[in-house]
């Protein structure tokens, strides 16, 4: 019992010196990737729609909207930045729990700019937020059977924004508890079953990384102002897990190892701008193509074995309507790889998306249910894949990839992550700002003002 109070105590008391250097380093990696993804993602139709909404409501405020030359109120800035961070589906997360960066990083940046926080304070808020929200997500994650009916990443993810905002506002323990409760009452519904899996195009709400920031930031600011909320939002049979429509609650998952083991080390970072569940297959196909020296005309057919979720949610989509559909289309991602394209923010630009050659190659790809991949997915939460590539010469090459490049078990190097960031940041920033921003993210604990990140990441004004 007392889970809410104990998590709030952890948040209030956490200090950077409490955690190992590798945890601090991992938090910086999360910031680098998320900021880069948002800078490039701000040019997508999703983010441009969010920017038009912002203009209609009246922009201007203390917090940076990255890559577009704008400022807004903290909750609005965090929302638009969160949309942009997830827009290319290039941002990392935890398998079957969500993409956390857009919520964690941009609620923290918005509130750091409001409060004048240091880089060290920003980092502390980020680490504490990852630990709390991943633990609540683990404790309330539905069973595989229930997940097919009701699931979603949004409900628990907003606790991350509560933590970042509460930390940077300097909430005391009691007000932090109220902030947890207020957010729990404001939390979005679990909505992934309504992503239009069988009624394309897919919804642009996607992984629900943006709206939880609005609710979490406002919950913390209301608590600062004396607003009262439920004080036991995470305890018992009638608590948050029931409100979030889960069929499962493991309260010990919220507290076991808190302060000594760090869930942030379990995060994956993406090697390709496509759904995490597609990544292993792309690694396998790239390996085969390189080994045989094949190019697209040398390939007659590709068969990919996957878990049931990809089959049920129609990842075998040959006619994606827009970039979000394409992000969840395994044939589209495979086709881009077969045509020799490097991973990058250009994957959904008209040159590729509208290419007759890309569309034709998609028809070479079939997706099938693989019982072993399903077992790994359900029992071990591994988004693995088998691939079989048949050449026009009749030869067959196969591969199985259990851990895609970028998984915690097969991580991107710092150099790879920095290269990814530079390619993304170059979409929105002048070249003179790309590396200085990277350096400040790598040296955050020595930064006197976290707002320097926003000042470099603001970019130039884009039409919305």
- Per-residue pLDDT tens for 364-398? 999 999 999 999 998 998 999 999 999 999 999 99
Q: What is the pLDDT of residue 147?
A: 86
Residue 462 confidence class, pLDDT cut points 50, 70, 90? low
Q: What is the pLDDT of residue 463?
A: 47
Domain co-membership, 233 together with 324: no
The reply to whether 410 falls in a domain is: no
List, as one string, the DSSP characters of 254-292: HHTTBTTB-GGGG-B--SSSS-GGGHHHHHHHHHHHHHH
Domain co-membership, 157 together with 301: no
What distance, in Å, lies between the first and last C-alpha atoms of the chain? 49
The reply to whether 71 falls in a domain is: yes
**Mean of the per-residue pLDDT values of the chain:** 96
- Per-residue pLDDT tens for 181-208? 999 999 999 998 889 988 899 999 988 8
Domain co-membership, 183 together with 328: no
Domain co-membership, 150 together with 221: yes
Domain co-membership, 161 together with 186: yes
The reply to whether 418 falls in a domain is: no
Sorted by sequence, the CB contacts under 8 Å of residue 439 that are 6+ apart come out as: none
Q: What is the pLDDT of residue 262?
A: 97
Reduce the secondary structure of 392-419 to three states and give it as a string.
CCCCEEEEEECCCCCCCCCCCCHHHHHH
Question: Residues 270-280: what's their mean pLDDT?
Answer: 97
Question: Residues 268-285: what's their mean pLDDT?
Answer: 97
> Residue 434 sits in a domain of what CATH number?
1.10.4100.10
- Per-residue pLDDT tens for 55-72? 999 889 999 999 999 999
Cα 348 to its chain centre, rounded Å, is 18
The reply to whether 406 falls in a domain is: no
Query: In the predicted model, is pLDDT for residue 440 greater than 60?
Result: yes
Q: CA separation (Å) from 199 to 191, 257, 320, 325, 441? A: 15, 42, 12, 11, 41
Query: In the predicted model, is pLDDT for residue 148 greater than 90?
Result: no
The beta strand positions in 325-459, using DSSP E, are 365-369, 385-391, 396-401
Domain extent at residue 438: 3-270+427-457
Domain co-membership, 258 together with 291: no
Residue whose structure tokens are 């490039």: 40
- Please state the φ and ψ torsions of residue 69, each to the nearest 5 degrees: 70, 25
Query: In the predicted model, is pLDDT for residue 418 greater than 90?
Result: yes
Q: What is the pLDDT of residue 353?
A: 98
Q: What is the pLDDT of residue 74?
A: 98
> Residue 366 sits in a domain of what CATH number?
3.30.1330.120
Domain co-membership, 238 together with 285: no
Question: Into how many domains does the chain fold?
Answer: 2
The angle subtended at Cα 250 by Cα 244 and Cα 253, nearest 5°, is 110
**CB neighbours (10 Å) of residue 414?**
13
Q: What is the pLDDT of residue 435?
A: 98
Residue 461 confidence class, pLDDT cut points 50, 70, 90? low
Domain co-membership, 254 together with 347: no
**CB neighbours (10 Å) of residue 212?**
32
The reply to whether 140 falls in a domain is: yes
The reply to whether 432 falls in a domain is: yes
Q: What is the pLDDT of residue 151?
A: 86
Spatial distance between the Cα atoms of 131 and 124, rounded to a whole number of angstroms = 11
Q: Give residue 375's region: left, alpha or beta (phi > 0; psi -120 to 50).
A: alpha
Among 200-209, 236-245, 270-279, 425-434, the least confident range: 200-209
Q: CA separation (Å) from 446 to 7, 12, 32, 122? A: 27, 21, 16, 11
Domain co-membership, 60 together with 100: yes
The reply to whether 297 falls in a domain is: yes
Q: Pick from 383, 401, 419: which residue ends a domain?
A: 401
Domain co-membership, 72 together with 122: yes
**CB neighbours (10 Å) of residue 21?**
7
Q: What is the pLDDT of residue 1?
A: 77
The reply to whether 180 falls in a domain is: yes
Q: For residues 241 and 97, which has the higher predicted lDDT (pLDDT)?
A: 241
Question: Residues 121-129: what's their mean pLDDT?
Answer: 98
Domain co-membership, 254 together with 289: no
Residue whose structure tokens are 């628990």: 156
Domain co-membership, 226 together with 288: no
Question: Residues 130-159: what's their mean pLDDT?
Answer: 93
Answer whether 209's CB lies under 8 Å from 257's CB. no
Q: What is the pLDDT of residue 164?
A: 98
Q: What is the pLDDT of residue 218?
A: 98
């Amino acid at each position: 019992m007392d889970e809410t109070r104990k998590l709030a105590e952890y948040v209030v008391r956490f200090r950077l010196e409490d955690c190992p250097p590798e945890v601090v380093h991992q938090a910086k990696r999360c910031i680098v990737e998320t900021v880069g993804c948002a800078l490039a993602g701000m040019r997508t139709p999703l983010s441009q729609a969010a920017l038009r909404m912002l203009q209609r409501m009246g922009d201007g405020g203390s917090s940076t909207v990255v890559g577009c030359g704008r400022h807004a109120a903290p909750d609005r800035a965090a929302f638009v930045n969160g949309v942009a961070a997830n827009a290319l589906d290039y941002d990392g997360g935890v398998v079957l729990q969500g993409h956390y960066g857009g919520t964690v990083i941009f609620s923290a940046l918005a509130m750091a700019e409001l409060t004048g926080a240091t880089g060290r304070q920003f980092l502390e808020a980020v680490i504490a937020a990852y630990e709390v929200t991943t633990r609540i997500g683990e404790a309330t994650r539905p069973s595989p059977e229930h997940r097919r009916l009701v699931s979603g990443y949004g409900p628990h993810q907003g606790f991350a924004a509560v933590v970042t905002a509460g930390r940077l506002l300097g909430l005391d323990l009691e007000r932090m508890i109220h902030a947890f409760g207020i957010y729990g009452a404001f939390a979005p519904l679990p909505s992934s079953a309504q992503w239009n899996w069988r009624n394309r195009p897919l919804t642009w709400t996607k992984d629900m990384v943006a709206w939880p920031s609005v609710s979490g930031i406002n919950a913390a600011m209301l608590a600062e102002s004396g607003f009262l909320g439920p004080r036991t939002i995470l305890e018992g049979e009638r608590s948050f897990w029931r409100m979030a429509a889960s069929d499962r609650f493991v309260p010990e998952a919220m507290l076991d190892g808190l302060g000594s083991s760090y869930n942030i080390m379990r995060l994956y970072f993406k090697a390709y701008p496509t759904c995490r569940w597609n990544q292993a297959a792309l690694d396998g196909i790239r390996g085969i193509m390189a080994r045989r020296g094949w190019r697209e005309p040398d390939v007659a057919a590709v068969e990919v074995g996957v878990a049931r979720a990809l089959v049920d949610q129609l990842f075998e989509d040959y006619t994606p309507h827009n970039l979000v559909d394409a992000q969840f289309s395994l044939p589209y991602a495979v086709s881009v790889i077969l045509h020799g394209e490097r991973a990058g923010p250009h994957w959904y630009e008209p040159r590729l998306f509208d290419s007759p050659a890309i569309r034709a190659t998609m028809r070479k790809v079939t997706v099938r249910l693989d019982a072993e991949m399903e077992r790994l997915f359900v029992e071990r939460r591994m988004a693995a894949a088998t691939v079989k590539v048949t050449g026009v010469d009749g030869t067959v090459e196969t591969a199985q990839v259990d851990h895609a490049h970028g998984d915690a078990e097969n991580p991107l190097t710092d150099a790879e992550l920095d290269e990814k960031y530079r390619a993304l940041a170059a979409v929105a920033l002048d070249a003179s700002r790309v590396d200085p921003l990277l350096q400040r993210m790598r040296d955050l604990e020595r930064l006197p003002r976290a707002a320097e990140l926003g000042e470099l990441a603001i970019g130039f004004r884009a039409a919305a």
